[in-house]
Amino acid sequence: MITENLPDDLSLPALLLDLDAFDQNCKMIAEKANGKTIRIASKSIRSVPVLKRIFESNEVFKGLMCYSPYEAIFLAEQGFDDILLGYPCWDPEALAQIAALNGAGKQITCMVDSMEQIRHLNKISEKVNGLIFVCIDVDMSTTFGSLHFGVRRSPLKTENDVIRLAMVIKDSPNLKFLGVMGYEAQIAGVGDRLPSQQVKNHVVTMLKKKSIHTIKRRRERIVRALEKEGLKPVLVNGGGTGSLNTTSKEECVTELTAGSGFYSPLLFDYYRDFHFKPALFFALQVVRKPASNIYTCLGGGYIASGPHGKDKVPQPVYPPGGKLLSFEGAGEVQTPVYYERETLEIGDPIIFRAAKAGEICERFDEILCVDQQQVVDRYLTYRGEGKCFL
Ligand SMILES: Cc1ncc(COP(=O)(O)O)c(C=O)c1O
């Protein structure tokens, strides 16, 4: 783990990748494939060299799931192919470029969950005499009484909902139906081993168990119905890091998605059935000591997205025992850290982990790759390539 003996001359703040931990994560994730391929969720990586390192690690990694159309275009230009946009997009200029790239031999697939999107895609694709591959997003959320367990994405839940759209895609001359995606966020993105939250953990575990069963049946029904209509999907995508163990067991799923597990940020410490290695860190520099036991670092306020809460705040991990101050937290330009025992000097580094995986890359131009406490390589982030998607 990246802890001691960072080179003295490092320019801080710096983003650090522990290559040994990262490579172990690649291996552990690959081992969960259960005969399927694993698509990489680029939002949780946000660095071209890191994506390449994952692909080189194992053949099981196949294809990318992007979050923005311009990101898909950028990655296609970098030589990547088989790119699935995980979310619908409307931007006519980007879609026209995608249709043209596909017409020239690339495979970039757009996500839809409504007739308006399908009509829009076909109109644009027709205009440039191109081709857009299309995937239908299926809602995988579950309900228990008045409780909605899952995320608000697609309105499509039943086989009839999906077939209605798939038929229209099939009859659209400049579109090609590829398959379906269903993201069970309530399994993949919800921790069930949260510290000091026994009751919540128990309820979430129970709800997850029930949901897994419903999801499996829903996906099977949809795939079977599509086959019956002569619309056999070549792609049935499911899951995320937090559901690799369960989604991989579904027979009708052809491919899994994973992203966060490669860096394994703080939020992924709290799952019952898997443990990846913390691999991505950032180092801040102590620049002043406002009181005894308090060491204030420059930078640090890299708060993760999602419902606001303490769990979205980065945490100091080395030297161990550091605590953020409740009144200041991780600040916009400086972050005080309290240590009961540690004696740090001005200029010393404090190592942190972020709550989520990819977002932290938006704060840094490069990732310093560390092996045996030495910086052995530097990987550009999207930001370092001058790119900002969304
Ligand atoms: C459609 C979709 N699939 C998969 C994932 C899983 O990504 P990760 O493995 O980074 O949690 C996400 C994350 O939000 C997603 O939106």
Given a cut of 90, whether residue 369 has pLDDT beyond it is yes
User: Which letter, b or e, does each residue of 13-48 get, where b requires 16 or more Cβ atoms within 10 Å of its Cβ?
Assistant: bbbbbbbebbbebbebbbebbeebbbbbbbbbbbbb
Is any atom of ligand 1 closer than 6 Å to the C-beta of 188?
yes
Report yes or no on whether pTM surpasses 0.85: yes
C-alpha 64 – ligand 1 centre gap (Å): 11
Residue nearest to atom 2 of ligand 1 (CA): 183
C-alpha 97 – ligand 1 centre gap (Å): 25
CB-count exposure of residue 338 (10 Å: 0-12, 13-18, 19+): middle
Q: For residue 137, give the ligand 1 atom closest to its CA.
A: 1
Share of the chain above pLDDT 90, in %: 86
What value does the mean pLDDT of the chain take?
95
Residues 6+ apart with CB under 8 A from 36: 248, 253, 254, 255, 256
pLDDT for res 3: 61
Q: Are 207 and 141 in contact (CB under 8 A)?
A: no
pLDDT for res 202: 87
Q: Per residue in 245-263, pLDDT tens?
A: 999 999 999 999 999 999 9
Name the band, by pLDDT with cuts 50, 70 and 90, for residue 2: low
Given a cut of 90, whether residue 390 has pLDDT beyond it is no
Q: Are 181 and 138 in contact (CB under 8 A)?
A: yes
* Angle, CA of 236, 237 and 242, to the nearest 5°: 145
Q: For residue 188, give the ligand 1 atom closest to its CA.
A: 11
Best of 46, 246, 257 for a ligand 1 pocket test (most atoms within 8 Å of beta carbon):
257
Name the band, by pLDDT with cuts 50, 70 and 90, for residue 134: very high
Kind and range of the H or E run holding 345: none
C-alpha 127 – ligand 1 centre gap (Å): 32
Q: How many CB atoms lie within 10 A of CB 6?
A: 21
- CA gap 268, 16 in Å, rounded: 18
Q: Cα torsion for 240, 242, 243, 244, to the nearest 10°?
A: 80
Given a cut of 70, whether residue 1 has pLDDT beyond it is no
Is any atom of ligand 1 closer than 6 Å to the C-beta of 240?
yes
Q: Is the dihedral of CA 152, 158, 161, 166 positive or negative?
A: positive
Q: Per residue in 54-110, pLDDT tens?
A: 999 999 999 999 999 999 999 999 999 999 999 999 999 999 999 999 999 999 999
* Region 264-276 average pLDDT: 93
Beta bridge partners of 142: 149
Helix or strand or coil: residue 65?
A: strand
CATH classification number, 280-383, choose in 1.10.510.10, 3.40.50.2030, 1.20.120.450, 2.40.37.20: 2.40.37.20
Given a cut of 90, whether residue 208 has pLDDT beyond it is no
Is any atom of ligand 1 closer than 6 Å to the C-beta of 384?
no
Is any atom of ligand 1 closer than 6 Å to the C-beta of 349?
no
C-alpha 356 – ligand 1 centre gap (Å): 12
DSSP state string for 359-387 = GGGGG-SEEEEEETTEEEEEEE-TGGGT-
pLDDT for res 170: 97
Helix or strand or coil: residue 118?
A: helix
Compute CA distances 90 → 35, 69, 161, 346, whole Å: 34, 9, 21, 50
Q: Same CATH topology for 67-258 and 280-383? A: no
User: What residue has token string 């959320």?
Assistant: 141
C-alpha 13 – ligand 1 centre gap (Å): 28
Hey, where are the domains in the chain? 67-258, 280-383
pLDDT for res 4: 66
Best of 38, 44, 264 for a ligand 1 pocket test (most atoms within 8 Å of beta carbon):
44
Is any atom of ligand 1 closer than 6 Å to the C-beta of 259?
yes
Given a cut of 90, whether residue 145 has pLDDT beyond it is no
Instruction: State both tokens at 351.
Output: 């190592």
Is any atom of ligand 1 closer than 6 Å to the C-beta of 102?
no
Instruction: State both tokens at 107.
Output: 């495979």
Q: Is the dihedral of CA 217, 186, 275, 20 positive or negative?
A: positive
Is any atom of ligand 1 closer than 6 Å to the C-beta of 183?
yes
Q: For residue 358, give the ligand 1 atom closest to its CA.
A: 10
Is any atom of ligand 1 closer than 6 Å to the C-beta of 41?
yes
Q: Per residue in 281-327, pLDDT tens?
A: 999 999 999 999 999 999 999 999 999 999 999 999 999 999 999 99
Is any atom of ligand 1 closer than 6 Å to the C-beta of 258?
yes
Q: For residue 237, give the ligand 1 atom closest to its CA.
A: 3
Residue 283's nearest CA partner among 204, 379, 364 is 364
C-alpha 333 – ligand 1 centre gap (Å): 30
Q: For residue 43, give the ligand 1 atom closest to its CA.
A: 10
Given a cut of 80, whether residue 156 has pLDDT beyond it is yes
Q: Which CATH superfamily is domain 67-258 in?
A: Alanine racemase (3.20.20.10)
pLDDT for res 196: 82
pLDDT for res 203: 87
